[in-house]
């Protein structure tokens, strides 16, 4: 940077680390927020908008008379802001578990997260205004460079959060990195005369780092019913132990009274607080019926693609049949597979040992888009989602599915994610099984999508669906997705 004063280099470093700090926290809070309120267009827009409001408000506050100070005083106040930032990370990490797992007021949880987003963005805007006061005397070009360096810090912080910190070391590493970034920002703004304050700043940062590493808050506030929790780039993967009354209700809901409650520990595997699978026998019978009916529809040796189903229950059901020639299981992250290996060991071992099965870790849409295989059966997990929930159930995605589907193949859907108008625009024939021997839940929820009429040998067990999915129910538009169950209250209710 030609023309930059030697003393300004440290100021640019401070701005860079402050940018890292602010964006790591924004992305972390967005991730925590959507765990509870869902990854929707609304939740993303709210968090990002509040963050931008905080930046604007902080920048404006920096122009008020109280902050119209000399460059030396601006340096002091900037360092104080970084100290507040370190304390803020401590407060956030110490309190977030309560609002994630225990607080029963949705409004209070909502306000908490919005306030937590507003605070660091306000400090970031205020810090930028203070740095402008430090460097503007060296020329207007300094302001442009400040903006560029701050943006670069945000870019580095964002990439580190999404590509390294959360996928490799989990959310705790993001808060640790934010703490260190604030400490480096404060240290960079210091001078030779500030050694005492710099030492105190590093001691404070070290104390917060040790507190986050020891994590006593999680021990007291984390739900004891969470048996497994691991971060991934697609969300927090958890396994919950359900309360007995809720487990009985779940068994009744999916088993329709045909299967007695088995007792014992009932688990619910979740991704970002969205149900994936139970270990209930009733759930297993549904997936076994699903495998058998779809193989009957094809009526020959079949190549099967499962999008989701990390527990291995569905995959194991397909492997029970010699008609399954090949089984490709695509899952989007390793922690889901780790949870399946731990809590469904028999099914996992079966899938790993059968030469017909292949487990692929890849983004669902990316795999479908670039797959070179032609599949006879494609099964979509009921809870695969993208940040706007309906991206897997659009005419474009269904077209991509049809590109890798055999001419007389079948796509099967179960439960969540059904956009009825899109579905019936994408396939010529949509069926529901009406054989009374099939699990009632499967009869109600499962749709079989194909462009060819069913074979006469099996057509008697199916009824073509010409009306909305549920008799007398809503016709869902392309921007509304039906969600079965108790929604995102399941974590606390169960």
User: What would the DSSP string read from start to end of 437-478?
Assistant: TS-HHHHHHEEEEESSPPPHHHHTTEEE--S-SSTT-----T
Which of 236, 252, 276 is a domain's end point? 276
pLDDT beyond 60 at 6: no
405-430 CB burial, b ≥16 within 10 A, e <16: bbebbbbbbbbbbbbbebbbebbebb
pLDDT class of 219 with cuts at 50, 70, 90: confident
What order do you get walking across the sheet with 357-361 strand by strand? 357-361, 324-331, 302-307, 375-380, 405-414, 446-450, 429-433, 462-464
Which pair of tokens denotes residue 289? Answer: 């019926």
Residues 372 and 289 grouped into a single domain: yes
Q: What are phi and psi of 407, to 5 degrees?
A: -60, -35
User: What would the DSSP string read from start to end of 96-149?
Assistant: HHHHHHT---HHHHHHHHHHHHHHHHHHHHHHHHHHHHHHGGG-THHHHHHHHH
pLDDT at 382: 59
Residues 6 or more apart whose CB falls under 8 angstroms from that of 47 comprise: 26, 29, 30, 33, 113, 114, 117
pLDDT beyond 90 at 298: yes
Which pair of tokens denotes residue 100? Answer: 């994630």
Q: Does 345 reside within a domain?
A: yes
Nearest to 190 by CA among 394, 14, 333: 14
Q: What are phi and psi of 385, to 5 degrees?
A: -145, 160
Residues 261 and 140 grouped into a single domain: no
DSSP state of 310: T
Check: CB of residue 239 under 8 Å from CB of residue 343.
Answer: yes
Using only C-alpha atoms, what is the Rg of the chain?
Answer: 27
Residues 145 and 251 grouped into a single domain: no
Residues 409 and 444 grouped into a single domain: yes
Q: What is the mean pLDDT of the chain?
A: 84
Collapsing DSSP states into helix, strand and coil, what is residue 325? strand
pLDDT at 2: 45
> Do you know the residue count of the chain?
494
Q: Does 296 reside within a domain?
A: yes
Residues 265 and 327 grouped into a single domain: no
pLDDT beyond 90 at 17: yes
| Lowest mean pLDDT segment, chosen from 50-64, 209-223, 346-360 | 209-223
Residues 242 and 297 grouped into a single domain: no
Check: CB of residue 9 under 8 Å from CB of residue 188.
Answer: no
Cα separation, 182 vs 408, in Å, equals 59
Q: Does 195 reside within a domain?
A: yes
Residues 216 and 233 grouped into a single domain: no
Residues 217 and 237 grouped into a single domain: no
pLDDT beyond 50 at 388: no
Which pair of tokens denotes residue 155? Answer: 């870019």
- Pick 468 or 435 by higher pLDDT: 435
Residues 94 and 186 grouped into a single domain: yes
Residues 6 or more apart whose CB falls under 8 angstroms from that of 75 comprise: 134, 189, 190, 191
In angstroms, the Cα distances linking 39 to 47, 128, 271, 487 are 11, 30, 11, 13
Q: Does 312 reside within a domain?
A: yes
In angstroms, the Cα distances linking 40 to 224, 272, 388, 391 are 28, 12, 5, 11
- Pick 6 or 467 by higher pLDDT: 467
| Lowest mean pLDDT segment, chosen from 57-61, 143-147, 155-159, 379-383 | 379-383
Q: What average pLDDT does the segment 284-312 reach?
A: 89
How many domains would you assign to the chain? 3
pLDDT beyond 90 at 318: yes
User: Angle at the Cα of 166 (from 160 to 170), degrees rounded to 5?
Assistant: 135
Residue 29, domain CATH? 1.20.1250
pLDDT at 224: 83
pTM of model > 0.85: no
pLDDT class of 21 with cuts at 50, 70, 90: very high
395-440 confidence digits (pLDDT tens): 788 888 999 999 899 999 876 555 566 677 788 898 999 999 999 8
In angstroms, the Cα distances linking 479 to 279, 469, 471 are 32, 16, 21
pLDDT beyond 50 at 481: no
pLDDT class of 470 with cuts at 50, 70, 90: low
Cα separation, 76 vs 173, in Å, equals 28
pLDDT at 415: 60
Query: pLDDT > 70: what percent of the chain?
Result: 87
Collapsing DSSP states into helix, strand and coil, what is residue 170? coil
Residues 112 and 135 grouped into a single domain: yes
230-288 confidence digits (pLDDT tens): 888 777 889 999 999 999 998 988 887 788 898 889 999 888 787 888 899 988 898 89
Residue 468, domain CATH? 3.40.50.150
Nearest to 207 by CA among 183, 171, 188: 183
Which of 174, 199, 221 is a domain's end point? 221
pLDDT at 458: 93
165-176 confidence digits (pLDDT tens): 988 888 999 999
User: What would the DSSP string read from start to end of 355-415?
Assistant: TTEEEEES-HHHHHHH----EEEEEE-TT---TTS-TTSSHHHHHHHHHTEEEEEEEEEES
- Pick 197 or 437 by higher pLDDT: 437
HSE-CB at 161 with a 13 A cutoff on CA atoms is 24
Which pair of tokens denotes residue 208? Answer: 């917060």
Q: Does 2 reside within a domain?
A: no
Residues 59 and 98 grouped into a single domain: yes
Q: Does 1 reside within a domain?
A: no
Helix, strand and coil in the chain, % to nearest 5: 60, 15, 25
pLDDT beyond 90 at 124: yes
Q: Which domain holds residue 446?
A: 279-493
29-73 confidence digits (pLDDT tens): 998 888 888 777 788 889 999 999 999 999 999 888 888 888 888
Residues 265 and 313 grouped into a single domain: no
Collapsing DSSP states into helix, strand and coil, what is residue 269? strand
Collapsing DSSP states into helix, strand and coil, what is residue 322? coil
- Pick 310 or 81 by higher pLDDT: 81
């Amino acid at each position: 940077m030609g023309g930059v004063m030697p003393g300004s280099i440290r100021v640019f470093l401070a701005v860079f680390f402050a940018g890292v700090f602010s964006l790591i926290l924004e992305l972390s809070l967005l991730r925590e927020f959507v765990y509870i309120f869902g990854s929707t267009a609304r939740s993303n827009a709210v968090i990002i908008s509040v963050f931008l409001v905080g930046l604007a408000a902080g920048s404006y506050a920096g122009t008020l008379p109280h902050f119209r100070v000399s460059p030396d005083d601006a340096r002091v106040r900037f360092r104080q802001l970084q100290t507040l930032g370190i304390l803020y990370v401590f407060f956030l990490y110490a309190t977030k578990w309560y609002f994630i797992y225990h607080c029963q007021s949705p409004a209070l949880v909502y306000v908490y997260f919005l306030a937590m987003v507003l605070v660091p963005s306000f400090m970031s805007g205020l810090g930028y205004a203070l740095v402008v006061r430090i460097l503007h005397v060296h020329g207007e070009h300094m302001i442009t460079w400040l903006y560029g360096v701050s943006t670069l810090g945000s870019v580095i912080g964002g990439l580190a959060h999404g590509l390294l910190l959360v996928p490799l070391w989990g959310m705790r590493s993001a808060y640790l990195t934010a703490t260190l970034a604030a400490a480096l920002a404060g240290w960079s703004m210091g001078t030779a005369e500030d050694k005492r304050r710099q030492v105190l700043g590093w001691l404070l940062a070290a104390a917060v780092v040790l507190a986050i590493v020891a994590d006593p808050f999680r021990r007291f506030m984390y739900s004891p019913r969470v048996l497994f929790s691991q971060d991934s780039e697609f969300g927090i993967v958890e396994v919950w132990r359900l309360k007995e009354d809720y487990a009985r209700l779940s068994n009744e809901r999916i088993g329709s009274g045909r299967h007695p409650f088995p007792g014992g520990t009932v688990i619910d595997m979740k991704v970002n607080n969205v149900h994936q699978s139970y270990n209930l026998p009733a759930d297993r019978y549904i997936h076994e019926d699903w495998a058998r009916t779809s193989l009957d529809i094809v009526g020959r040796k079949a190549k099967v693609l499962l999008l989701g189903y990390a527990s291995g229950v569905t995959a194991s059901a397909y492997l029970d049949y010699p008609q399954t020639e090949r089984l490709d299981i695509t899952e989007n992250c390793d922690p889901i597979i780790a949870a399946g290996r731990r809590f469904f060991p028999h099914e996992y071992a079966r899938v790993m040992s059968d030469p017909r099965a292949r487990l692929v870790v890849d983004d669902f849409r990316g795999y479908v888009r670039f797959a070179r295989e032609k599949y006879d059966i494609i099964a979509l997990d009921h809870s695969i989602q993208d940040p706007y929930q309906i991206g897997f159930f659009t005419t474009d995605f269904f077209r991509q599915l049809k590109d890798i589907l055999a001419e007389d193949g079948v796509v099967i859907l179960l439960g969540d994610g059904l956009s009825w108008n899109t579905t019936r625009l994408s396939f010529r024939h949509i069926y529901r099984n009406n054989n009374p021997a099939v699990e009632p839940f499967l009869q109600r929820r499962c749709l079989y999508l194909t462009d060819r009429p069913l074979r006469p040998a099996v057509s008697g067990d199916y009824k073509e669906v010409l009306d909305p999915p549920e008799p007398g129910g809503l016709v869902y538009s392309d921007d509304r997705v039906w969600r079965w169950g108790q929604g995102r209250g399941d974590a606390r209710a169960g």
